[in-house]
């Protein structure tokens, strides 16, 4: 089956679905690896600080390549504020340092929304094509009608097959990011309190 036959089989909407599926697979694989990696590096960083709190360097951490370490360092520096202020600041820091991740999550959500719509569009276009062919015939072949409708429904199947795993990955990533936020807030409060106590002890 060559490219022309594939196009005839799934139509323009099907080709668009293939492109959307490729983008979804790329984003899912990329950010599954990326989020796992930054989480692993961040937890190693926290474990090292728990073993030796004297290694805490907020200025260096704020310039780190890992966005979680940058967020943690900036949040720890402002940990003396109230809990509501700290929560608002943390939300801003995640917005600031997770721009690419948030953009990718928006694209994944968009893919999950447009995939079934593209599938439905392909089905409607395919069925309209089938009925045009049938209208031009004097004797309707039931086998031809069934085959044409089956081909038309293929794009809906493809669209749903893209939507379901994409939504699963989207919510998995969201849960992971929410977990990062909880961890960052907890560790920033803990190390910020320790840092302020050490500073008071030195000044006292």
**Nearest Cα to 160, choosing from 111, 92, 102?**
111
When pLDDT is averaged across residues 125-139 and rounded to a whole number, the result is 77
Structure tokens at 169: 């990955």
For residues 46 and 38, give the distance between their C-alpha atoms in angstroms, rounded to a whole number.
12
The structure's pTM equals 0.81
- Per-residue model confidence (pLDDT) at position 35: 95
The answer on pLDDT for 107 being more than 70 is yes
- The whole-number pLDDT of residue 202 equals 47
Q: Are 70 and 63 in contact (CB under 8 A)?
A: yes
Residue at token pair 């199947």: 157
> CB atoms < 10 A from the CB of 106, how many?
11
Instruction: Give yes or no for residue 23 having a pLDDT over 90.
Output: yes
3-state secondary structure of 204: coil
The residue among 182, 187, 186, 175 whose CA lies nearest residue 47 is: 187
Q: Check if the beta carbon of residue 14 is closer than 8 Å to that of residue 154.
A: yes
pLDDT band of residue 200 (cuts 50, 70, 90) is very low
**Is residue 171's pLDDT more than 60?**
yes
Question: Does the pLDDT at position 198 exceed 60?
Answer: no
Task: State the pLDDT at residue 140.
Answer: 66
pLDDT band for 166, please (50, 70, 90 cuts).
very high
Greatest distance between any 2 Cα atoms in the chain:
100
What's the CA gap between 82 and 106, in Å, rounded?
31
Residues, the chain: 204
**Torsion region of 11: left, alpha or beta (phi above 0 gives left; psi -120 to 50 gives alpha):** left
Per-residue pLDDT of 43-96, as tens digits, reads 999 998 888 877 777 788 878 888 998 988 888 876 555 556 777 888 888 988
Minimal CA–CA distance to 174: which of 101, 88, 87? 101
pLDDT at 25 exceeding the cut of 80: yes
């Amino acid at each position: 089956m060559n490219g022309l036959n594939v196009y005839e089989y799934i139509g323009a909407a099907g080709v668009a679905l293939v492109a959307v599926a490729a983008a979804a697979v790329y984003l899912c694989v990329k950010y599954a690896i990326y989020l796992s990696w930054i989480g692993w590096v961040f937890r190693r960083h926290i474990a090292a600080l728990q073993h030796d709190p004297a290694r805490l360097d907020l200025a260096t951490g704020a310039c780190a390549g890992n966005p979680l370490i940058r967020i943690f360092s900036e949040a720890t520096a402002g940990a003396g504020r109230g809990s509501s202020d700290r929560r608002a600041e943390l939300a801003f820091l995640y917005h600031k340092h997770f721009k690419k991740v948030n953009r990718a999550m928006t694209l994944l959500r968009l893919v999950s929304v447009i995939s079934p719509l593209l599938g439905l569009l392909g089905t409607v276009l395919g069925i309209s094509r089938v009925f045009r062919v049938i209208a031009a015939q004097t004797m309707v072949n039931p086998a031809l009608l069934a085959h044409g409708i089956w081909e038309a429904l293929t794009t809906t199947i493809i669209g749903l097959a893209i939507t379901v795993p994409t939504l699963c990955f989207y919510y998995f990533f969201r849960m992971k990011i929410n977990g990062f936020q909880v961890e960052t807030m907890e560790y920033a409060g803990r190390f910020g309190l320790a840092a302020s106590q050490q500073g008071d002890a030195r000044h006292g």
